[in-house]
Amino acid sequence: MQKGFSRYKTLYKTFSEKPVRSTCGLCQIGCGILIHVVGGRVTKIEGDLEHPLNRGKLCVKGKRAMDYLYHPQRLRAPLKKSKNGNWNPITWREAINEIAEGMNRIKKKYGAKSVVFMRGAAKGLQDDYLSRFANAFGSPNITSMGHVCFIPRKVASDITYGYYAIGDLEHPPGCIIVWANNVSETLHHVYERIKEAKKKGSFLIVIDPLRTDVAKLADIWVKIRPGTDLALALGIIYVIVDESLYDAEFIDKYTIGFEELQKEIRRYDLDIIEKITDVSSGLIKEVARVYAKKRPSVIQWGNGIDHTVHNFQTARAICILRAISGNLGVPGGDMYFSPPAIKKRGIPELTLQDLVPLEEREKRIGGAGFMLPSIFYALPQLVIDAILKGDPYEVKCVYIQGGNFLLTYPNARKVYEALKKVELLIVSDHFMTPTAHLAHYVLPAATFFEFDSLVLPPYSLPVLSIQQKVVQTSSVKSDYEILRDLSKPLGFGDLFWEEEKECLDNILSPLGITFDNFRETGIMSGKPMPHNHVNHGFPTDSGKVEIYSKKLKEWGYDPIPSIDVERVLSSRLDTNYPFILTSLKRSYFRHSGGKNIDALRKKYPEPLVLIHPNVAKSLGIKEGSYVYVETNLGRIIQKVRIEPHMHENTVYVDYGWYFPEKNAGELFGWDKANINILIGDDPPYGEEFGTPNLRAIPCKITPILDL
C-alpha cells in the first residue's frame, strides 16, 4: 500500500481542515485529487502529487469539477412531469413509490424484459449496481456503451493473450506508436509520459488522420484515411512477415497459429493497402521496420479503433502485431500489470447475473444475434428499434442512468422518436439534459463529491483509488442509494446492502481491509509483471498467444483478422457525399457533458468543424464562417476552422454539442450541431459486438450565406 498521507499533513497543517484524498469522477481515468473543505463546503480541489497516475496534474475539466458540484442549474430534487409538460418537484418517497409502482405494472403486463436499463458513459461501480438492479428485477436488457468503447479492445486482448496489456511508457520504449488515440485531448497522464519518453529518446509514430498535439511531436505522422486501421495493421503485419522482422523465438515458444497468419497475410499486397488507407507503401514499410527493430516498442491505442464495424478484428490485428514483433510482456513493451486483488468489476457475485436464467438472458435485445457469446449486453440501437416497432417484443419502460442519448447515440432523430414513445421513462443525472427533458421522472444524482466509492480504471495503469464523500448538497442521492431505495418497494431490497459502504467493504475484503481502513492511505498500485509468460505462460485456453483463435472459429467469427478488400473499396463510392465525416472529442468536455460550465465554454464556446484548405477553397468557405454538414440523414451547422494538417477529404465534426443556455422546451438546441443527427444506426453492424459504423461516413459541406 502507498505510504501514508504524511506529506500533506505537514504541507497543509496551517489549513483549518486538512484536505481529503479522493478521485476525480468526471471521467473514468481516475486522477487523484485533494479536496479542501471548509465549513462544510468544498473550497478548492487540486491534483494529488502522490497519486501515481496523474502525479498532481489535472485536465482542464478536472480543474473545474467544483463548478459541477455548485452549479446553479444542478438538479436538487426529484422532478415529475405534469400532463402539460411542466416539471414539478416531488419528495423522494413519492418518486420512489410512483416509479416502482409503474415498473411493477409494466412488468406484470408485458414481462420484466419490457423494462430496459440503459447506462450512459462509464460510471465505475455505479454501472455494476445498475446491472445488479436489472438482474434482481428480472430483465436481461441492460445496455452499455461497451460496443463502441474499450470492450472490443479488451475482449480482443483477452482472446489473443489473456489480459489487457498496458504500455510500459516509463521504461522508456524504443518506439511508441500512438494509434487512433488523441491522448493530448483525452488522456493527459499518458500524454505526459509520452512527452517524457520522447525526451529520453523514444521514437514516436502517430497514426491519425489529424495532426493532433501528440502528432506534432512525432518523428513520423501517418495521415491515415479514417476507418481503415484494420487494413493498415494488416499491412504492417505483412511487412513484418515478408521481411522476417518478427521475433522467431517468441513465436516458436509462446504462440499458436503463426503459419495460418503467414498464409492469410499473403493474400494482400501493399499497393492494395495503400489504396485503402491512403498511406504509401513506403511509409507502411518504414513504420513496420521502426516498430519491429527499435524494440521494446509500445502501441498506445485508443477509442477511435472502437468506432467501426471492424473494431474487434482491428484490435486483434494490433494484439498480434505486439506478439509477433516480440513486444508483448517485456519491459518497455506492452505488458501485464497485475491490479490490486479486490473483487473484480462485473463478477456475477456483484451483478447477480445468475438471477436471470441463461435462456432468458439470451433473449436480450440484439444480444444473442450480434455479440460474442462472452458478452452480456443488449444492443442499444436495437433497443431503440424495439421501442418503436415492438420487435422482438414490447419495450415500455426505460431507466437511464447518466446518459444523454439524444446526443450520444447514432440516428438521434430516431432516438428522439423512440424515447418520446416510452410509457415510463426515468433518467438519473446531475442536470436537465435534452434526454432527461423527455422523461417522466428525473432523479438528481450525486456527483463524485457526494458519495464514497472505489476507482480502479480498467484501461491504464491499475491504481486503486479512494473516492470520499465530502459534502451533501440538498437531497441528491448516489445511483446506489437510488437503486437501493427503489429495490425495496419492488420486493428485492434484501439484495442491496443498507449502506453503500458495506458493499465497498465486500469488494475490498480479499485484501483484508475495510473501506474505512482504506481511507488511511487511499491509493494502492498494481504491479508490473514483466516476462510473466516465461514461468506462467499466457492465460488463454492454450497457454499461448492465440494468433489463430479456435474459440473464435467455434463461435463463428474470423479466427484470424482479415478484410474484404472489394467490399471496402466499393462501399466508398457516393458522389453525392464526397467527403469523409469523422468526429473529434475535446479535452474540455466529456461526451455531451460540460457544455453548461461557463469556464469551459469561455475557452471553447461553440462547435467547430475542421476542413482542409483545399476543400475550403474549392467550395468558397472561409475561416470562421458557418457551414451545413450533411449526410443522407440530415444536416447540422458548425463553425469552420481551416486545418491544413489533416487527411484532405476528411471533415472533422465536434461531438456531443447541445446548448444548455437555450430554451428547455426546444430541448436546448439538441439537433442544431449534433453529429449524431448525421450518423446512422443501420446494419451491417460489426459481427462480434453489433457496433454500428460511427466513422468514415460519406458527407457533404455547404457554405451558409445568410446566417
Closer to ligand SF4 by CB, 213 or 574: give it. 213
Residues 484-543 that bind ligand SF4 (CB under 6 A): none
DSSP labels for 618-644? HHT--TT-EEEEEETTEEEEEEEEE-S
Closer to ligand SF4 by CB, 31 or 651: give it. 31
**Shortest distance in whole angstroms from residue 511 CB to ligand SF4:** 23
Closer to ligand SF4 by CB, 188 or 612: give it. 188
**Shortest distance in whole angstroms from residue 25 CB to ligand SF4:** 7
**Shortest distance in whole angstroms from residue 245 CB to ligand SF4:** 36
29 binds ligand SF4 (CB under 6 A): yes
**Shortest distance in whole angstroms from residue 186 CB to ligand SF4:** 8
**Shortest distance in whole angstroms from residue 192 CB to ligand SF4:** 11
Closer to ligand SF4 by CB, 188 or 533: give it. 188
Among 25-33, 312-320, 338-346, 602-610, which window interacts with ligand SF4 (CB under 6 A)? Answer: 25-33
- 538 residue type, one letter: F
Buried b (16+ CB within 10 A) or exposed e, 544-580: bbbbbbebbeeeebbbbbbbebeebeeeeeeeeeebb
Closer to ligand SF4 by CB, 74 or 188: give it. 188
Closer to ligand SF4 by CB, 53 or 387: give it. 53
Instruction: State the virtual CA torsion across 553, 315, 333, 347 in degrees, nearest 10.
Output: -80
Closer to ligand SF4 by CB, 54 or 135: give it. 54
Figure out which of the listed residues 5, 19, 22, 27 binds ligand SF4, where binding follows CB under 6 A.
27
**Shortest distance in whole angstroms from residue 536 CB to ligand SF4:** 33
Q: Which three cell numbers stand for residue 351?
A: 451483478
Instruction: State the virtual CA torsion across 601, 459, 468, 94 in degrees, nearest 10.
Output: 70
DSSP labels for 477-530? B-HHHHHHHHHTTTT-GGGS-SSHHHHHHHHHGGGT--HHHHHTT-EEE-EE-T
653 binds ligand SF4 (CB under 6 A): no
Angle, helix 412-421 to helix 380-389, in steps of 10 degrees: 50
- 487 residue type, one letter: S
Across-strand partners of 216? none
Closer to ligand SF4 by CB, 61 or 396: give it. 61
430 binds ligand SF4 (CB under 6 A): no
Angle, helix 311-324 to helix 151-161, in steps of 10 degrees: 40
**Shortest distance in whole angstroms from residue 464 CB to ligand SF4:** 14
Q: How far apart are CA 94 and CA 482, in angstroms?
A: 13
Closer to ligand SF4 by CB, 51 or 132: give it. 51
Among 20-28, 140-148, 155-163, 292-300, which window interacts with ligand SF4 (CB under 6 A)? Answer: 20-28
C-alpha to C-alpha distances, 267 to 192, 279, 572, 698, nearest whole angstrom: 40, 19, 21, 28
**Shortest distance in whole angstroms from residue 429 CB to ligand SF4:** 17
CB-CB neighbours of 271 under 10 Å: 9
Figure out which of the listed residues 20, 26, 190, 463 binds ligand SF4, where binding follows CB under 6 A.
26
**Shortest distance in whole angstroms from residue 596 CB to ligand SF4:** 16
Ranges of beta strands (E only) in 152-223 are 166-167, 175-179, 203-207, 220-222
Closer to ligand SF4 by CB, 29 or 176: give it. 29
Residues 56-115 that bind ligand SF4 (CB under 6 A): 58-59, 61-62
**Shortest distance in whole angstroms from residue 28 CB to ligand SF4:** 7
Q: How far apart are CA 316 and CA 307, in angstroms?
A: 15
Q: Tell the burial category of 210 from Cβ atoms under 10 Å away from its Cβ (0-12, 13-18, 19+).
A: buried
Among 22-30, 238-246, 321-329, 474-482, which window interacts with ligand SF4 (CB under 6 A)? Answer: 22-30
Buried b (16+ CB within 10 A) or exposed e, 345-370: beeeebbbbebbeeeebebbbbbeeb
Residues 249-278 that bind ligand SF4 (CB under 6 A): none
Task: Report the residue count for the chain.
Answer: 707
178 binds ligand SF4 (CB under 6 A): no
**Which residues touch 258 (CB under 8 Å, ≥6 apart)?**
246, 251, 324, 547
Residues 182-201 that bind ligand SF4 (CB under 6 A): 188
31 binds ligand SF4 (CB under 6 A): yes
Q: Which of 452, 416, 436 is nearest to 73 (CA)?
A: 436
Closer to ligand SF4 by CB, 26 or 298: give it. 26
Size of the site for ligand SF4 (CB under 6 A): 12
Q: How far apart are CA 183 and CA 177, in angstroms?
A: 12
Closer to ligand SF4 by CB, 74 or 700: give it. 74
21 binds ligand SF4 (CB under 6 A): no
CB-CB neighbours of 532 under 10 Å: 17
Closer to ligand SF4 by CB, 71 or 635: give it. 71
Q: How far apart are CA 240 and CA 228, in angstroms?
A: 19
**Shortest distance in whole angstroms from residue 586 CB to ligand SF4:** 12
Question: What secondary structure, in 3-state letters, does 229-242 show?
Answer: HHHHHHHHHHHHHH
Task: Assess contact for 498 and 468: CB atoms under 8 A.
Answer: no
Closer to ligand SF4 by CB, 62 or 444: give it. 62
Q: How far apart are CA 203 and CA 634, in angstroms?
A: 43
Q: How far apart are CA 325 and CA 250, in angstroms?
A: 8
**Shortest distance in whole angstroms from residue 265 CB to ligand SF4:** 38
Among 21-29, 347-355, 368-376, 626-634, which window interacts with ligand SF4 (CB under 6 A)? Answer: 21-29
Cα within 13 Å of Cα(397), Cβ side: 25
**Shortest distance in whole angstroms from residue 471 CB to ligand SF4:** 18
**Shortest distance in whole angstroms from residue 24 CB to ligand SF4:** 3
CB-CB neighbours of 410 under 10 Å: 24
Closer to ligand SF4 by CB, 119 or 188: give it. 188
C-alpha to C-alpha distances, 544 to 24, 329, 533, 586, nearest whole angstrom: 38, 12, 9, 39
Q: How far apart are CA 445 and CA 583, in angstroms?
A: 29
456 binds ligand SF4 (CB under 6 A): no
Cβ-proximal residue to ligand SF4, closest one: 62
**Shortest distance in whole angstroms from residue 61 CB to ligand SF4:** 4
**Shortest distance in whole angstroms from residue 26 CB to ligand SF4:** 4
The residue behind cell 426529484 is 78
123 binds ligand SF4 (CB under 6 A): no
State the binding string over 46-65 for ligand SF4 (x if CB under 6 A, else -). Answer: --------x---xx-xx---
Closer to ligand SF4 by CB, 448 or 670: give it. 448
Question: Where along the sequence are the contacts to ligand SF4 (CB under 6 A)?
Answer: 24, 26-27, 29-31, 54, 58-59, 61-62, 188
